[in-house]
Amino acid sequence: MSDFVAASQLNDAKQAVAKLQANMRLTIRGKDDVIEQVLVCLVAGGHLLLEDLPGVGKTTLAYSLARSMDCSFSRVQFTSDLLPSDVTGVAIYDETVKEFVFKRGPVFANIVLADEINRATPKTQSALLEVMDRARVTIDGEAHAVGAPFMVFATQNPVDYEGTFPLPESQMDRFLMRLRMGYPEPRDEREILRSARGGYDAIALNPVATRSEILALQAMVPQVFVEESVLDYLLRIVAATRTEAEFRSGVSVRGGVALRTAAQARALVRGRDFVLPEDVTDLVPPIFAHRLALARQTSDALEERRAVTAALKRIVGSIPTPS
C-alpha cells in the first residue's frame, strides 16, 4: 500500500463526499458547515457531541446521515432509569437451546443517536462511552463487535441542567468534536416551514454511499499528508493551551492526535490529500473546546463555553500561520 493517497482514490473520495453532502442538504437546510463537520467526524472515525437547544435539528441531522448511507441507525433516549443493558444488550437464558443467548442492544448499529446523554446515570453513560472507545461490547467475557463504521451522535441541552448528570471531562475526551447547530437563517427556516415533512420516518432519503465506501474513506485518512510546518503549527497550538492562564489544564495528547486526525479528514472531505493550516485553524474550537475547562468559576455553562472559545480563538490568532 502506498504512503500517499492515489489520485483515483482521491477522486472516489471526492465523489462520495459530494454525494453525501448533496443528499444531506436535502433535509438539513442552510447548515453546510455543520454537514461538513459531521462528515469530517465520520471520516475521521470519531464520535460527535451535539449541544444545542431542543428542536433545532440535531436528531434530523443524525437521521439524515444514517439514511444517506447504506447503514443501520438506532436511537436511544437517555433517561435517569435507563440501564447499561438497555444500551449494550443483555444475555438471557434461551430455553430452547438451553443456554444464555446475547440479545443485542441499540448500540449495535452504525449510527447511534444517544439523545440527551446527560440525563442517564453515570453508570449507563460509562457503558456507552466504553463502547465508543473500544467499538465492542463485552458480556460474560465474550466480546461482541459493534457495527463498522460506528459513530455515536450524542446530544445534550446546554441550558437545562435540572436532573442531569454532566459528563466528566475524562469522558468528554472520547468525543472527537462538539458542535452546535444554531438556529437556521430566516430564508432557510422558511423553506423548512414550507416542506410538509412530519416525523423522522418521513425523511425520504436514498442511500448514496455504501458502508464499504465509508470504510475506504476512513482508511484513507492516515495517508493524508501533514507537512512539518503544519505539524509544528498544530503542536504550538496544543502547547499554548497548556500555558494559557485561563485554562485549568491544557489539551491532552489524545486531543492533539484528535486534531491532527480531524484535520486530515477535513482535507479529504475537501478533496485534498494534504493538510492546509486552515484545516487545523478551523477545527481548533470544535475539537478542543469541550476538552478544556476554565480555571475560574463561571456563572453558567454557556458563559464558560463562550469564554473557552474566545480564549482558543485568541490563542490561534497569536500563533503565526505557516506561510
Partner 1 sequence: MTTPVARRPQLSPDELQQLKWLLGGLLTLLGVGTVLYMDIDAWVLTGLTVAATLATLLRPELPGRVPRWVHALAFPAIAAFFAGDLWLKMELLPAMVRLDILLLIYRNLSYRQRRDDLQIIVLGLFLVIVAGVLTVSLTFAGHLLVYTACSLAMLLVITLGDAAQVGKPEPAQPIRETPSWARHTDWRRLLRRLQEVTDWRVVGLGAALFAGVVGVSALLFLAIPRFQIENSMFLDRFITKKAKSGFTDVIRFGDVSEIQLDTSIALSVDVSDQSQIPVTPYWRMLVLDDYSNGTFRLSGGLRAQFGSERTNSFQTGQARPRLGEKAVWTFYLESGVSRYLPLLGHFDMLRFRESQNYRFAGALALVSLREEPVSMTAYRVEGFDLTTLLPDPVFAERWRRRHEPDQKPVGLQTRLILRDSDHGVLRRTVSEITGGESPGAAEFARRAGEWLRRQHSYSLTPAIPGGDGDPLIRWLVSREAGHCELHAGSFVLLARAAGFAARVVTGFRGGSWNGYSNNFTIRNSEAHAWAEIFDERAGGWLRVDPLAPVVATTGEEPRGEAAVAARLDRSWAARFDSLRVFWYRRIVNFDQRSQAETLKAVKEATQNTGRRLRVALEGAVDNLKVWLTSPWDEVRLVRVAAFVIGVGALGWFLKSVGPGWWRLRLRGFGHRRDDPVRREAGRWLSRLANGEAAEEEAGVIADLQRVRFGARPTWPEPARVFQRAHQALRSRRRRAVSRTGSGSG
**97: CB partners within 8 A, 6+ apart:** none
Under the binding rule (CB under 8 A), the answer on residue 277 touching partner 1 is: yes
The 8-class DSSP code of residue 116 comes to T
For partner 1, the closer CB: 4 or 100: 4
The b/e string for 94-126 (b: 16+ C-beta within 10 A; e otherwise) is eeeeeeeebeebbbbbbbbbbbbbbbbbeebbe
The interface region with partner 1, picked from 65-73, 224-232, 252-260, 283-291 by CB under 8 A, is 224-232
User: Least distance (Å) from partner 1 to the CB of residue 58?
Assistant: 28
For partner 1, the closer CB: 163 or 317: 317
For partner 1, the closer CB: 100 or 225: 225
Q: Give φ, ψ of 48 to 5 degrees.
A: -120, 135
For partner 1, the closer CB: 216 or 231: 231
Under the binding rule (CB under 8 A), the answer on residue 1 touching partner 1 is: no
User: Least distance (Å) from partner 1 to the CB of residue 4?
Assistant: 5
CA dihedral 305, 253, 58, 35 (to 10 degrees): 110
State the cell numbers at 280: 487545523
- If we measure between CA atoms, which residue out of 200, 181, 12, 18 comes closest to residue 111? 200
The rounded distance, in Å, linking the Cα atoms of 244 and 246 is: 6
Total residues interacting with partner 1, rule: CB under 8 A = 27
The interface region with partner 1, picked from 102-110, 111-119, 226-234, 285-293 by CB under 8 A, is 226-234
Under the binding rule (CB under 8 A), the answer on residue 275 touching partner 1 is: yes
Sites of contact with partner 1 (CB under 8 A): 3-4, 225, 227-230, 243-246, 272-278, 314-315, 317-323
